[in-house]
Amino acid sequence: MNSYLIKDTCIVNEGTKTYGDVLIKNGRIAKIAPHIELTEGVIEIDGSNQYLLPGVIDDQVHFREPGLTHKANIYTEAKAAVAGGTTSFMEMPNTNPPAFTHELLEQKYAIGQQTSLANYSFYMGTSNDNYEEVMKTNARKNDICGVKIFMGSSTGNLLVESPLILEKLFAGSELLIATHCEEESMFKANLEKRKQLGTPLTAADHPIIRDEEVCFESSFKAVQFAKKYNTRLHILHITTARELQLFGNMLPLSDKRITCEVCVHHLHFTSDDYATLGNQIKCNPAIKAPHNKAALWEALLDDRIDVIATDHAPHTWDEKQEDYEHAHAGLPLVQHSLQLMLHYVQQGAITIEKVAEKMSHAVATCFQISERGFIREGYFADLVLVNMEQPQIIQPANILHKCGWSPLNGMQMPATITHTFVNGHLVYGNGQFDESVKGQRLSFNRS
């Protein structure tokens, strides 16, 4: 494996920006110092006028393999991820077949090992009848990212809504439980009410059908279960101002038992955007009214929201062009999440230090990931260099998601991802890929 010396860069790490050099050897960060001499056999990379950030860790993606590979697969989406500065991902169980057994889960890990350019982990899926299989994860705390419960139906048949089964899962799981929270009966009732109006449904109806109350009631239920059993709960893709009252910021993240995330599309779009983008931004939970976006930003900055993710969920263009009820829900975002947040850095909405915290440090802390998420000597060299003076326009020619489209198409991003290192391997540099080394399975430090 090559050794690298990144020279004269601005290192963004743990709330600070410092200028200096970073030496990478044997897949790890060997040294961080104001000046490091170049030695024989080490490849120098000019980091001047660039920022060096820890690689993004995305705790919620859908890469569609196995069974749905006409939309995406682990190879294509991990490749798009590293091009966008995401060096590790945690992938959801709603594939075909769903990851309801450890045998099926390990099949996904095998695909990751063979094809993924990024580091990877996969959630164990839950159903109404696989409780015993889910409980086997308790003996595997350090090599599985978590257990996923769909408390509202989304993509795939993984809904768990029985209170008895939910209670058993919260009581029995020793792993982090990640939840998709929407109250099924409520949004079904809302859908019927909209249909009774007699007018054709459109994407603009989506945040009315899957409204604020639908999300709050389900999130409240999850929090109550977690408090009752002291379960480690992580609520995914918070979308409403009301849900934010369920979360606090008085404890250090490492001490929190209940955490949450926001996704980049809920920080960027509002219900006003359905008029121009329609089903392109149909997703579950729905993008909602502008006051919710403002509340999400406030909670992100004051640490009630702990991490930023994507919920990357690609579908083909044709699948998104169906009528509202049949158009598939989900957006492809993993390639552009860091660039989008750097857009908000340029706008003054967030600092680049906070971006590194919410997209890397906090994810590593929240999931107790071993030796990643920070720029520290001895840690794996998962690193990304960004040039904030090199704009890039998102267009079909540079979109790497297998589906080939993005709801951000045509947007000019203020920054370009110039280099991405995964475990010290320069997998992406100035638009070129080196696919000779694959990513690694994430491990976790859990007692």
Number of Cβ atoms within 10 Å of the Cβ of 46:
12
pLDDT at 157: 60
For residue 445, give both structure tokens. Answer: 């430090």
Q: Domain 56-367 carries which CATH code?
A: 3.20.20.140
Q: Where are the domains of the chain?
A: 3-52+376-390+412-433, 56-367
Q: Which residues contact 400 (CB under 8 A, 6 or more apart)?
A: 76, 79, 80, 83, 335
Q: Domain 3-52+376-390+412-433 carries which CATH code?
A: 2.30.40.10
Phi first, then psi, for residue 326 (nearest 5°) are -105, -15
Phi first, then psi, for residue 320 (nearest 5°) are -85, -10
pLDDT at 154: 55
CA distance 426 to 381: 10
pLDDT at 447: 75
For residue 82, give both structure tokens. Answer: 């590293």
pLDDT at 181: 97
Q: Which residues contact 85 (CB under 8 A, 6 or more apart)?
A: 53, 55, 56, 338, 339, 384, 386, 417, 420
* Angle value at C-alpha 58, between 52 and 294, nearest 5 degrees: 90
pLDDT in tens, the chain (447 residues): 999 999 999 999 999 999 999 999 999 999 999 999 999 999 999 999 999 999 999 999 999 999 999 999 999 999 999 999 999 999 999 999 999 999 999 999 999 999 999 999 999 999 999 999 999 999 999 999 999 999 966 555 688 988 999 999 999 999 999 999 999 999 999 999 999 999 999 999 999 999 999 999 999 999 999 999 999 999 999 999 999 999 999 999 999 999 999 999 999 999 999 999 999 999 999 999 999 999 999 999 999 999 999 999 999 999 999 999 999 999 999 999 999 999 999 999 999 999 999 999 999 999 999 999 999 999 999 999 999 999 999 999 999 999 999 999 999 999 999 999 999 999 999 999 999 999 999 999 997
Give DSSP secondary structure letters for 308-369: EE--B----HHHHTS-TTTSPP----TTTHHHHHHHHHHTTSS-HHHHHIIIIIHHHHHHTB
